[in-house]
Structure 1
Amino acid sequence: MSVLTLAVLDGQMGVPSDLPMPVQLTIAAAAGLAAWHARRSWWPLAVLGAVAYAGLVVWPPLMLASYYAGRTLPRPRGIAAYLAACVAVCGIGAIVGEARDGLQELLTASLGNALFMMLGVIGLPVALGLWTGELLRAAKERAERLEREQVMRAEQARTQERARIAREMHDVVAHRVSLVVLHAGALEVRASDEETVRAAALIGGIGREALANLRDVLGVLRSPEGHARQEAALRPPPTLGDLDRLLDQSRALGITVTRHDEGEPRPVEPTVERTAYRVVQEALTNVHKHAGDAGTRVRIHYGTDALEVEVRNDAPAPSGAADTPPRAPRGGVPGAGWGLVGLRERVELLGGTLRTSAQDGGGFLVSARIPA
C-alpha cells in the first residue's frame, strides 16, 4: 500500500506531483500503517483514504477501505451509509478540483472521469468485498454446522456406549450381587450359631449397599441429567464421616484395623473427602484380597494445605499359625487389576499424588497426598 500510494503521488497519469518528497513519504507511510491495521479496524484507513482522495486524488487507501467496508459492514444499511459518505467525499473532491485546476480538476470535476473513478475506486472494491464476505460467512457457517454434527455424533456414540455398559452391568454384576444378598439372607435365617448369623447379616448389608451404589451408577449411565441424578443426590457419596463404618466392616471380617488421626480436623472440599475415602476403601479391598488377616493401620493427617491418607498393612500370618483367626481365602476374590490405576487417576485429577510400595517384611503401603 505504501509503494502504490507513493507511485500515485509521484506521477499519476504521467503528471508528477508538486508535493515535496518528505510529504509524499509521510502520506505513503501513513497509508501503509493504516492498511496494516485494517484487519483489526479499517476505519483509520477509510478516514485517511477520504482525506487523501478529496484533497490529492490519492485513491489506493480509499479503494482498500471500500473493500473492507463491503466485507464487514452490515447490509443493506451499513453499505448504503458507506456509499453515501463516499459520494460526499467525491463531491468534496470535485469542489477541490474545481479550485485547483489541472489534473485534479480533470479527474474529479469532469463527470465522466468522476464516475469512472467512483466505479473503480469505490464500486468495484465494495462489490468484491461483499462477494468475499459472503464466501467467508458461508464457509464459517458450514464449518460450524460440521462441528455441531460432529459433537452430536460423538454425544450419540457416548450415549449408546453408556447404555451398553449399563445393560452389561445390570445383567451381569447386579444379578450376581443380588444372588449374594439373597443367599446371605437365607443363611442368616437358617444358621444356628450366632457367629454365622452375624457374618451373613454383614454380607447381606454390604451387598445391599453395593446394589444401591450400583443403581446410582446405572442411573447416571442411562440418564445423566434425569431422575437418576436426583436420586443420587438423596444418597450423597461417602466421605470421611463414613470411614469408621468402612473400618468396622473390615474388622467384622477378622482384620485388625486401627485408625489414627493427626493434625487439627477441619472441613475440606467434598471431592477431597470422597477421594480420601476411596483411597482407604481400595487399600482395604486389596488387604482382603491379598493379605487376608494382616493387621492394618489407617492414618489421616490434616496438613495446612493438603490431606494425607496412609494405609499400611503387615505381612499376612502364615497359614496354620497358632492363635491366629481364620483368614479370608486367597485367590477367591477376582480382580481386574485396575483398582490402584483408577485410584491414581482419581487422586491426580485433584492435583495430588499416590504412592504404593511393598514394605520390608512383606507388608504394603498405600499413601496419598491430596491438596485441600
Structure 2
Amino acid sequence: MHQTSWMTSTILNRLSANAGMLLVRSLWDYCPEHMFIVRVEGPADFVIEAMNPTRQAMLGDEATYTGKRIEQLLPPPLCHGVIANLHRCVECASPIRYEEKGGYLDRDGICQQGHWQTLLVPITNQEGAVTHLFGVSRDMSLLPEQPVGAYSESKEFERRVHERTAELVAANEHLTHLATHDALTDIYNRRYLLELAELELRRASRYEQPLCLMMLDIDHFKKINDIEGHLAGDEALRRVARTILATVRECDLVGRYGGDEFLILMPETTATGAREIAERLRRTMTQTTPLTISIGIASLEPSDHFVVDLIHRADTMLLQAKRNGRNRIECAA
C-alpha cells in the first residue's frame, strides 16, 4: 500500500482549502491513474508540486521532481507540448483533455516511450485566478490490443474522465460557496466580504472614484428573539437579506457582518446616491415586512486606508440613527 510522503501531504493539506482538492486528497494514494499537481508561476512557467505514488513509480521519488519546472523533467519536444496544454488550461480556466506521445527518462534513467491521455483541471483561488493545475493521466501504450467491435478501454477512460471532471467542478463550486457565504442568509460572510471590500477600496483610491459603505441592523431584534423565539429571529435575518439583494444594484457587495448587522459596499457611489439607495431600502422594508431597519452611511475619505475606517464611521452613524428614534438613516458629513 502506497503512503503519501510528508511533503506531498503538506502540499495537499495547504491546497485542501480549495474544494476540488478535497476530492483529490481522498483519491491520491490509491487511484491507479497517474496524478500530479502543478503550480502556475507564469504564462509558460509551471512547477511540479506533487505526484501521486503511481506517478512516482514511473518518474522517481519526490526529491527528483518537487520544485522543478516541466522543462527540467521532460525532454523536448515532449515538454513543449505539455507546457502548451498547461497554458491552454490556464487560459480557458476550465478542464481540458488531450493526448501526447513521446519519450521520457524513467526512475532508472532509461528512455521510455509513452502515449498518454490526460485530463487537466484548473484550481482557482477566491479571486478566480488559476493558481494550480490538477492532472490525471493514463499511459495508453500499456493497454492491451482491443478486438474489433470491442468496447475500447480508452472510451471507458474517457467516460471516467467526464465523471471525475463533473465531480470536481461540482465539489469546487459547492464548497467555494460554503466558504464565502453566510450559512443562514446565503449572502457573503464577514471574512469574504471584507476581502472583496479591501480590493474595492484600493481600486477606488487608485482611480479617485467615490465609494460608500452602508451598515444597517434590525430595530428591536433582541425583542424578536426573546418574544417570538430564535427561529423567528432567523427568519427575520433571511427576510432582510432577501430584501437587500432585491433592492441594491448588482455591483453592490452585500454581506452579514455579525448578529443582525449587515454591510453593503457601494462602488462608484456618492453620499447622495448612497442615501437614495438607503431610503429605497428602508421604505421597502417597512412596506413589505413587519420589520424596520436603521442605517448608517460613510463615504470614502482621502485619509481612509482600510475598510475598517469606513466601517467605524458607518457604525457611529448607525448608533446615531438608533438614538434618534430608529427606522431612519444617518450619513457621515
Instruction: From the two aligned structures, give the one with the greater helix fraction.
Output: 1
Q: Whose relative contact order is higher, 1 or 2, with alpha carbons under 8 Å and at least 6 apart? A: 2
Structure of higher CA gyration radius: 1
Instruction: From the two aligned structures, give the one with the greater strand fraction.
Output: 2
- The TM-score bracket by the shorter chain reads under 0.3
TM-score with structure 2 setting the length:
0.22
